[in-house]
Structure 1
Amino acid sequence: MQRRQFLQQAGLGGILAAGVAPAVHAQTDIRWRLVSSFPKTLDTIYIAAEVFAKKVAEATNGRFIISVHAGGELVPPLGVVDAVQQGTVECAHTSPYYFFGKDDTFAIDCAIPFGLNSRQMSAWTYEGNGLQLFREFYRNYNIVNFAMGNTGAQMGGWYRHEIKTLADIRGLKIRIGGFSGKVFSALGAVPQSIPGGETYQALEKGVIDAAEWVGPYDDEKFGFYKVAKHYYYPGWWEGGPQLALYVNAKAWEQLPADYKAILTTAASHAHVHMQARYDVVNPPALKRLVAKGTQVHRFSPQIMQAAYDASMALYSDLSAKNPAWRKIYADYAAFRDEQVLWARFAEASFDQFMQTGRNKKR
Structure 2
Amino acid sequence: MNKYLSGAAVAAISFAFVSEAAATEWNVSVWGKRRAFTEHVEKLAELVSEKTNGEFIMNVSYGGLSKNRENLDGISIGAFEMAQFCAGYHPDKNRVITVLELPFLGVENLEQEVAVSAAVYAHPAATEEMAQWNAKLLMTSPMPQYNIVGTGEPRDELAEFEGMRVRATGGLGEAFRAVGGVPTSVTATEAYQAMEGGVVDTVAFAQHAHLSFGTINQADWWTANLNPGTVNCPVVVNIDAYDSLSDSEREALDSSVSESIDHYLANYGELLKKWDSVLEEKGVQKVEIDAAVIEEFRAKAADPAKDAWIADMEAQGLPGQELYDLVVKTLADAKSGS
Report the TM-score range of the alignment, normalised by the length of the smaller protein: 0.7 to 0.9
Match of 2:32 among 39, 44, 48: 39
Which shows bigger deviation, 254-263 or 331-340?
Answer: 331-340
> Are 2:120 and 2:326, in contact at CA under 8 Å, matched by a contact in 1?
no
Counterpart of 1:132?
Answer: 123
Ranges in structure 1 where 5+ consecutive residues have no aligned partner: 1-26, 348-362
**C-alpha displacement of 1:171:** 0.6
Match of 2:173 among 167, 181, 190: 181
Counterpart of 2:51?
Answer: 59
> Are 1:149 and 1:272, in contact at CA under 8 Å, matched by a contact in 2?
no
Counterpart of 2:14?
Answer: none
Distance change in 2, residues 1:96/1:257 (3 Å): farther
Q: C-alpha distance in 2, partners of 1:185/1:296?
A: 24
Q: C-alpha distance in 1, partners of 2:217/2:237?
A: 40
Distance change in 2, residues 1:202/1:251 (3 Å): closer
Match of 1:252 among 237, 242, 248: 242
Q: C-alpha distance in 1, partners of 2:291/2:176?
A: 16
Distance change in 2, residues 1:263/1:328 (3 Å): farther
Q: Which amino acid aligns with 2:260?
A: A
Instruction: Please list, as runs of the form range in 1=range in 2, the aligned pairs for 1:79-118 lying within 5 A after superposition.
Output: 79-108=70-99, 111-115=101-105, 116=107, 117-118=109-110
Match of 1:321 among 307, 312, 317: 312
Secondary structure at the aligned position of 2:69 is classed as helix
Deviations 1:292-331 (A, max 9, x none): 4321122333442343332321221222222368525534
Secondary structure at the aligned position of 1:163 is classed as coil
Secondary structure at the aligned position of 1:150 is classed as coil
Deviations 1:316-358 (A, max 9, x none): 1222222368525534435425634873x789xxxxxxxxxxx
Q: TM-score, normalised by structure 2?
A: 0.80
Deviating 4+ runs (over 4 angstroms): none
Distance change in 2, residues 1:226/1:51 (3 Å): closer
Q: How many residues align?
A: 315
Deviations 1:8-65 (A, max 9, x none): xxxxxxxxxxxxxxxxxxx9521221111x212x522233322211111111111111
Q: C-alpha distance in 1, partners of 2:214/2:239?
A: 40
Match of 1:281 among 262, 271, 274: 271
> Are 1:158 and 1:229, in contact at CA under 8 Å, matched by a contact in 2?
yes
Instruction: Please list, as runs of the form range in 1=range in 2, the aligned pairs for 1:61-76 lying within 5 A after superposition.
Output: 61-71=53-63, 73-76=64-67
Q: C-alpha distance in 2, partners of 1:210/1:325?
A: 36
